[in-house]
Chain A
Amino acid sequence: MRYVTPSGFVGKGPWLFYNLATPSELMTTNLLTQNMTQSPTPILQVQNLSKTFAGVKALDNVPLTVQRGEVHALMGENGAGKSTLMKILIGLHTPDAGEVIFDGHPLPYGDVHEILKRGISMIHQELQVVPELTVAQNIFLGRETTGGLFSRLNDRRQEKEAGLLLAQMGVDIRPGRKMKHLSVAEMQMVEIAKAISNQAKVIIMDEPTSALSDKEVATLFRIIGELKQNGVAIIYISHKMEEIFAIADTITVLRDGQYMDTQPAAGLNRNSLIAMMVGREIDSLFPESVPRKGQEVLSVRNLSRAGKFTDINFTVHEGEVLGLAGLMGAGRTEIARAIFGLDRPERGDIYIKGQKADIRSPQDAIRNGIGYVSEDRKALGFIPGLSVKQNITLASLPSHAKGGLIQDKAETEAAAKMVADLKIKTAGMHQKVTYLSGGNQQKVVIGKVLLASPDLIILDEPTRGIDIGAKSEIYKLINQLTAHGLAVIMISSELPEIIGMSDRVVVLSQGRQTATLSREEATPETIMAYAMHD
């Protein structure tokens, strides 16, 4: 038995030091034991791994070697094959060909449970927690008892053990709290605790910082450091360069399902890494644009929604990008949802081209020429069971129909043009959107919104979780849109993006508008100062 059960701690693993007093003490002790037990062979060796989906090679002869106790960054554009590789490692996919040796034994492909037991855990980008259970119950989920299905649960004991574990990690989360009351960062810590209690030897982290504040990132990195010292290998997937260089020992790059290279992080810099990833140097991420400010498209006046945002005032003009900046929870997405009719504001007015508009639903918003690309494309973006074509035309379907009957030719042409314009990589118009990579799914959603011919498009975190190459394409697209007279509201958590793209920036802090800055005024320091304004 290599993993912890609440009723009997097996003292074999490096993370089970319940008798030790302080984490630091525990760390030193462990380093010693770890050094003694650590063998020089890599913990994970992948060779010639291949996987094909619907005729598209997601992985083509990919190797990967991960050493014990290293942080191994896995990088690549969307659709490079990172997710597929990870899903094979945790047993969600079965490879077509190739070999995976984990801890000296072949990996039992497709056996999620066995793989977890042997020590590969993944912290998913979209955390997989049971919101109604407590922290402790989540940590020990599936390993509640040593007895059978009907043996008695012992919550207090679980909580005690979970508390010890969290204390050792140096995070302050009460194990009796319900998961749903935790912040994203806290949930992530619980997931890590779960992996540790699972005696994970390899922990895969997929974009772990995408919803974390700087302080929370620091905590995460400290814990990663401690895991490393204990011989745990981390496979770290992220698009954030600063993070990669701050934390990774080794970097492996995939491109279009193929292995590019593996190099020590110390030998790489930003530009050489980007070049490896995209196969081309990106000179300027943010394309030059000539501001062509036209007539006012949207004006919001004193827009308020209790507990979310208060007295928001701004205007957007044709050909202009208005950036909405702020920290998590500043109310940016909530404002976008209110403008798009997904939520009702309690107070305030929305004017479209000078006319007061009564927007009660997304239908009203679309009729008024507003398009919204959500930050959460899975929940609000696309319909998984429908094809690329059907998703793209969904918001404008009546205009491809006569008397309620869909005109197949008109529909196909409209969708095909969008696929070509946005360079959506798909095996065909009838491919289901589920099978596309994240970046291409995002493009499908953007295509859907554009096909409804909006005058104003709200892009909520349009580049979240997508790689530099696709980011650059999205930026170019935004400039093409404004060049054609569209007004754009862009919500982003990335300061360089806000500064690089926006003509004006509205800064929000805790639901209040703290500044409206011109392009010249919008420096990182100013925006940050207003974003943290009380």
Chain B
Amino acid sequence: MIPTQKPQSTYLNQVGEAYKTRLRGLSTYGILLAFLVVCVVLSLVTPRFLTIPNLTIVVTQVSINALLAFGVTFVIITGGIDLSIGSMVAVTGVVAAMFAHPDTYPVGVPLLMGLLAGLLFGAFNGFVITRSKVHPFIITLGTMTMGRGLALILSKGRPISNLSDAFNFIGGGQVLGIPMPIIILVVMFILCSIALHKTVLGRYMYAVGGNEQAARASGINLSKVKMVVYTLCGGLAGLAGIVLTSRITTGQPNAGAGFELNAIAAAIIGGTSTSGGTGTMTGTLIGALLIGVISNGLDLLNVTSYYQQVVMGIIIIGAVVLDSWNQNKNNS
């Protein structure tokens, strides 16, 4: 359209590239470093930490929180929040369990129903948020309570047990010695990373969270992006609900209480800014792993769970404070 001028100097490009890695990498590398330091320290103070069985347990335990954290990372990047994911875990777990009794349906049915329940729940969140224009904090606070009630209604307040072996394999089985939750975690991490970093949708998430009005003026359909994001978050919560139900071989209407806080913590520790527009999937994964490793380490060191909660709170605050210092340094 316009005659091309001489190309940019390569020197400037190099400076730009170096700058980019420095800036974008800072919080991701920072959290990775923290993670490695914690691992080294733990392997020094307790010999049981750095063993394959122990690490396998850690990652298996982390998987549910990580799945939830992936979903909530999408949401937080668009500038929103989802407090209902813990309740979604309960609803989807109960729904899946209802279809998972032995000799009733093939294993695909409870899987599909659980996922569908999560997607629908998430879509409902997205619908109300985009229609009402009320802050997602309030809406998902409401649907969190609704979801908990729904799980109790569907299960008549009782745990749903007696699930088929095929269903229990999803959370408890192994393939080539690798626990299924770890396999699901890896697959979902790859898919979510691609969705966030390589797709048009992912770019739109950053744009919407970075400057909603400018995103709109760039022709981005805000409601559509938000709908998709909350639905995705619901789907991942559904998957987490299925894995949890399968692992504990029971559909528990009280499951998942407080899970949303751990998931949000993983995202934030991983460098996702609550003001929207920044964050990476890798960061969130490491954030979830860091939380898992620390609580495992504290277990191995026989620290009671009461103290563990205090430690976890300190870590969340520390991570956010450090990140905000870093950002201020970069901005000035």
Contacts and interface: CB of A to CB of B under 8 A. Distances in A.
Contacts of B18: 55
B200 interface: yes
B215 interface: yes
B2 A480 contact: yes
A183 interface: no
A92 B331 CA distance: 10
Interface string B127-171: 000000000000000000000000000000000000000000000
A363 interface: yes
B277 A430 contact: no
B126 to A, nearest CB: 18
B206 A383 contact: yes
B221 A361 contact: yes
B200 A398 contact: yes
B15 interface: yes
A381 B198 CA distance: 23
Nearest to B223: A361
Contacts of A362: 216-219
A55 B220 CA distance: 33
A379 B8 CA distance: 29
Given A384-B211, A421-B5, A428 B201 contact: no
B4 A395 contact: no
A452 B16 contact: no
A431 B198 contact: no
Interface string A438-465: 0000000000101011000000000000
B1 A394 contact: no
A342 B212 CA distance: 13
B207 A394 contact: yes
B200 A430 contact: no
Interface string A339-374: 010100000000000000000011101110000101
A383 to B, nearest CB: 4
Given A406-B198, A426-B16, A432-B23, A383 B210 contact: yes
Contact of A404 (B6, B7, B199): B199
Interface residues of A, number: 57
B203 A420 contact: no
A420 B213 contact: no
A380 interface: yes
A98 B2 CA distance: 43
A448 B218 contact: yes
B213 A385 contact: no
A386 B207 contact: yes
B19 A54 contact: yes
A385 B277 contact: yes
The residue in A427, A431, A477 that gathers the most chain B C-beta atoms within 10 A of its C-beta is A427
A243 B221 CA distance: 43
A430 B1 contact: no
A374 B218 CA distance: 11
B5 A394 contact: no
Interface string B17-51: 11110011000000000000000000000000000
A416 B17 CA distance: 14
A448 to B, nearest CB: 7
A381 B13 CA distance: 24
A384 B210 contact: yes
B2 A484 contact: yes
A363 B219 CA distance: 4
B131 to A, nearest CB: 16
A395 B220 CA distance: 8
Contact of A406 (B7, B13, B200, B209): B200
A485 B162 CA distance: 72
A363 B215 CA distance: 10
B332 A93 contact: yes
A22 B7 CA distance: 64
Given A363-B219, A432-B23, A383 B207 contact: yes
B191 interface: no
A374 B207 CA distance: 17
B178 interface: no
A381 B215 CA distance: 8
A55 B19 contact: yes
B20 A430 contact: yes
B246 interface: no
Contacts of A387: 20
A94 interface: yes
A397 interface: yes
A54 B219 CA distance: 31
Nearest to A390: B203
B2 A477 contact: yes
Nearest to B13: A428
A428 B12 CA distance: 6
B278 interface: yes
Interface in B208-246: 209-211, 213-221
A223 B97 CA distance: 76
B210 A421 contact: no
A397 B203 contact: yes
A405 B5 contact: no
Interface of A: 54-56, 92-94, 110, 340, 342, 361-363, 365-367, 372, 374, 379-387, 390, 394-395, 397-398, 401, 404-406, 416-417, 419-423, 426-432, 448, 450, 452-453, 477, 480-481, 484
Given A390-B206, A453-B1, A481-B2, 15 more contacts: A340-B217, A362-B218, A379-B213, A383-B277, A384-B277, A385-B209, A385-B277, A390-B203, A401-B200, A406-B198, A417-B4, A420-B6, A421-B3, A422-B2, A428-B14
10 closest residue pairs by CB, A with B: A428-B16, A430-B20, A383-B210, A385-B277, A366-B219, A385-B210, A55-B15, A395-B218, A421-B2, A363-B219
18 contacts: A362-B216, A363-B220, A383-B277, A385-B210, A395-B219, A397-B203, A398-B200, A406-B198, A406-B200, A406-B203, A416-B8, A420-B5, A420-B7, A421-B2, A428-B13, A453-B1, A481-B1, A484-B1
